[in-house]
Amino acid sequence: MAEAIIEKVNKEQIEILDVEEFMSVSGRGVKGKIEGEEYFSGNIAFMKENNIDISSAEKQSEDLLNEGKTVLYFANEKEIIGSIAVADVIKDTSAFAIENLKKRNIKTVMITGDNEKVAKQIGETVRNR
């Protein structure tokens, strides 16, 4: 995947800018300065912690969360400038494995750092397979 991105950057002659004061906040996102302006990428909690107005993206984000997707936001110091949605790929064998554990009277639980709506959607998807 990274090789494809590098190839695209080279092919399109996209300028790569230096990031200063880069910081990763575990489970939340990343931030750094590009040409003196601060930029953020991360989840909704990270945006709120950094006083980023997400109101323009809230409705669409809620819809994506209800579909079991995780929304990652991109923002400058003032506002959201973009977002992407990512989803976990559930293996075809997951439901089978869980069913076999239950048949052996082994209690199964899902432990996740995802948003509660995302976790519920994933659980429903596995149960319905």
pLDDT tens digits along 28-87: 999 999 999 999 999 988 999 999 988 888 888 888 877 778 889 999 998 899 999 887
**What's the whole-model pTM score?**
0.69
Q: Give the pLDDT of residue 77.
A: 92
The domain limits of the chain are 2-86, 94-127
Highest CATH level, class, for 2-86: alpha beta
Q: Which amino acid is at 55?
A: S
